[in-house]
Amino acid sequence: MKRLGAGTAYTAVVIATFSLIGCESVSKQGLGTVAGGAAGALLGSQFGSGTGQILAIIGGTVAGAWLGSELAAYLDEQDQQEAAEAVQTAAVTGEGQGWTNPDTGNSGTTEVAATNKTTDPVNVKVLKDRVEQVPPLTLDASGPHKVTANANVRGGPGTDYKVVGSLNAGDTVAVTGKVQNADWFLINKGGIGTGFVYANILEAAPADKTLAAYDGDTPNSNEVAEITVLAERTCRTITHTVQLSDGATKQEEVTACSGPNGWEIKPAT
């Protein structure tokens, strides 16, 4: 288990918006912050209500995580940041995490209780004039990827598809997923697929890297198609235990699944 100290930021780049289904107003129980892409987001929802709200992080990188309102009520802002980063990092890495805040005396641990793969139909948004087809994918929510060599972006997973753009060595891009049985990634901008890149020219990038700009104007809705694709997803059950300074222990369990635009996190059932 890895430990995060107070003030340690698991940095991530936020390149679009957060979509929260059924979220109520944010208070201490539901702190919402976006720290310039450095600390992600802490969004409290009706976590214990059983309504199954999902926080979808748009952008192909893990940009944040959220805490249940009941647990968040016992934590100050710094505690919530440390705790959310621990849940987020456990989802990305599959490894248990720890955090502590010497200012409050509170601490916590996250343990990955289970990891499994599921295959489900998912909706993927793409630019219609750039992406010709989207075959089955293995969704990738591991974070930004760095481009290691100049490369063309193509309209499909192969060199026989038209060139729809280009990337330069050193650029950093968001990845939706890897084409199954082929060495091609679907990349995206703001959660919208912009084309395919050969897998061998991408490698995992530090989460504080700035994503490459999309070489075009912000698309209108009529330029975007939503395609249903069969996709393999990684799902993790994460147990989060908090030890309060008064000796009390609080615990909650969440399920985090990779989605086409990042991680989707909801109360475990």
Measured CA to CA, the distance from residue 20 to residue 151 in angstroms comes to 35
- Give the per-residue pLDDT at 68: 72
Q: What φ, ψ does residue 82 adopt, rounded to 5°?
A: -60, -45
Report the C-alpha gap between 12 and 81 in whole angstroms. 13
Q: Taking a C-beta distance cutoff of 8 angstroms, is the pair 151, 166 a contact?
A: yes
Distinct helix (H) and strand (E) counts, the chain: 2, 16
pLDDT score for 164: 97
Task: Write down the pLDDT at residue 248.
Answer: 97
203-214 pLDDT, tens per residue?
988 655 444 544
Asked if 116 and 158 count as a contact pair (C-beta separation under 8 A), the reply is: no
Domains of the chain: 2-113+234-267 (no CATH), 119-230 (2.30.30.40)
At 52, which amino acid appears?
Answer: G
DSSP structure string for 7-24 = T--------S-EEETT--
Spatial distance between the Cα atoms of 46 and 216, rounded to a whole number of angstroms: 39
Angle at 198 between CA 192 and CA 200, to 5 degrees: 125
- Our CA angle for 265, 213, 260, nearest 5°, is 25
| DSSP run (H or E) holding 91 | helix 77-93
Distance CA 103, CA 195 (A): 47
Mark the ranges of the chain whose per-residue pLDDT is less than 70: 1-66, 206-218
The model scores a pTM over 0.85: no
What is the structure's pLDDT at 13? 27
Q: What is the pLDDT of residue 217?
A: 54
Q: 101 pairs with which residues across the strands?
A: 106
**3-class state of residue 87 by DSSP:** helix
